[in-house]
Amino acid sequence: SAVISQKPSRDICQRGTSLTIQCQVDSQVTMMFWYRQQPGQSLTLIATANQGSEATYESGFVIDKFPISRPNLTFSTLTVSNLSPEDSSIYLCSVDSGGAYNEQFFGPGTRLTVL
């Protein structure tokens, strides 16, 4: 499986600021995904990021709050804008294996705390 890294691994931010999270993959992948995992909860898909096209957002998530870039086949960023304490979560990127059954592999995650 691909090796996935995320930066930063954790951050503490002030209300009203923004945080940009980077996701780097060691091989080219078509589909990358961004998830949120709130404390004690399961994973919720924020958006799908495909290279060369706009990200596709899930219900309840909007581009103004979670802008995503996908400049090439190995890299993506997620920005969480206008932070509030409710945004305190773990943010995870994942990649599709490219196989017939769409297995996904996750990066190590970014733990965000908003004060």
Q: Applying CB under 8 A, which residues contact another protein?
A: 1, 31, 33, 41-45, 48, 90, 92, 96, 101-109
Q: For another protein, which is the closer residue by CB, 9 or 84? A: 9
Backbone angles phi, psi at 99, to 5 degrees: -85, 180
Q: For another protein, which is the closer residue by CB, 10 or 15? A: 10
**CB of 91 vs another protein, minimal distance in Å:** 10
Q: What is the DSSP string of 12-39?
A: EE-TT--EEEEEEESS--SEEEEEEE-T
Q: For another protein, which is the closer residue by CB, 17 or 41? A: 41
